Structures are given as C-alpha cells and as structure tokens.
Amino acid sequence: MIRLLICDDHAIVRQGLKQILADAPDLEVAAEAGDGPETVAQVRRGGIDVVLLDIALPGRDGLDVLKQLHQEFPKLPVLIVSTYPEKQYALRSLRLGAAGYLNKGADPAELITAIRKIARGGMFVSPTVAETLATAMRKDSGQPPHELLSPREYQVFTLIAGGKSLTEIAGQLSLSLNTVSTYRARIMEKIDTHNDVETALYAVQHHLVSMAS
C-alpha cells in the first residue's frame, strides 16, 4: 500500500484527488494539508510514502516546501500537481528535488501512473517536461539570469510577466504589497530590467510566457 499526503489549499481539489485515488486499490490517502507548514508537520509524523504537492499555497509557496522536504527527507518522493504550465515550473521543481511534475488538467490515469512510478523510486516526466529537460541539457552556456531567482521571486516574476498588478499578486500569494514590491526590485536587479514591460519582454524572449499571457 502506497500512503499519500495531499497538500492543496482548496478542499474541493483535495476531495477530487481522493475520489480519483479511491479507484486504485494500492493507494491510500493517509493525510492531507492545506498549507506548507502543515505538510511538513504531517511528514515529520511519519507514515507517508508519497507527497502530492501544489505550488500555489498561502503564505509559503510549494517550491519552498519542496526544498525543505527534500533537505529533511531526501528519499521521500514528491509529485508536484499544479495548474501552472509545465514549461514554467517543471524544470525548477525537478531541480529542487521533485520526483515528477503533473498538470492538474492531466488524465486521472496519468496521475495514478505517476504516483506508482515515483513510489518505486523512479521519475515521472511527461513528453512536454522531457522536451524542456532536453532543451536545458543542450544549453552549454552559463545559467540564464532568471535561473538565479529564488522560488518565490520566480513566482512573482511569472505573475508580473503575465500582466498581474502588484496588488493582484499580493492578494494571490497572500503577501503584503511591500513584500511584493521588494521581490519585484530584486527580480529586476537579477535579470537586469527596469520596469514591468521589460520584465514581460524578457519572459517572452526566454519562452517562459507567451504573448497571449
């Protein structure tokens, strides 16, 4: 039996995932959490074989939680299950220690396959993620500036690039406006841009967002 912990701040999403997993006789939802600290606490109690982790969490985002889990429990497989596009977050998630990345729009059967694979010690990589990994491996130059952003800075960066205002970002990430403004300043310093328009253009040029975003 594979014992799972589901971390998502939306109860309806957790319930939906539990209904999907109920059809698999070898999977058991042993715990659930609505934020990062609760997830870490549940894992520390023991009895968890696989963590399903969302990125967009209140207070502390999922990538920060992933980093901590990987540091404290390096052998614990974590599957990121997120609405964010794979091209934006899959590579960063894998580099931070995730065993796989799956979009919430994926087929339920794919979710079950992914869980079973990482529980056996494997990695789950979709065709889109595999292409992203191959592209990253082909780059023989140094890291692009956006790879130097922290997980939270990268999250704010993609939201700015997607046209969100600082107020909207603050509300979405449950942060103060001053904190978001500080992140924005750090981002522009690291990627060498001077305003939100330049930041958005940078994201498009590096294929991190599309013009439609």
Domains of the chain (ranges; CATH) run 2-137 (3.40.50.2300), 145-205 (1.10.10.10)
According to DSSP, residue 162 is labeled T
Write down the H helix ranges in 73-124: 86-95, 108-119
Residue that the structure tokens 């971390």 belong to: 7
**pTM of the entire structure?**
0.70
What is the C-alpha separation between 168 and 111, in angstroms, rounded?
31
Closest listed residue to residue 187, CA positions, set 151, 149, 161: 149
What is the C-alpha separation between 165 and 168, in angstroms, rounded?
5
Give, for all 213 residues of the chain, the pLDDT tens digit: 999 999 999 999 999 999 999 989 999 999 999 999 999 999 999 999 999 999 989 888 899 999 999 999 999 999 999 998 787 788 889 989 999 999 998 899 999 999 999 999 999 988 877 877 766 665 545 678 888 788 899 999 999 999 999 999 999 999 999 999 999 998 998 888 989 999 999 998 888 875 444
On whether the CB atoms of residues 197 and 205 are closer than 8 A, the answer is no
Non-local (6+) Cβ contacts of 113 within 8 A are: 124
What is the C-alpha separation between 70 and 203, in angstroms, rounded?
28
What is the C-alpha separation between 64 and 37, in angstroms, rounded?
10
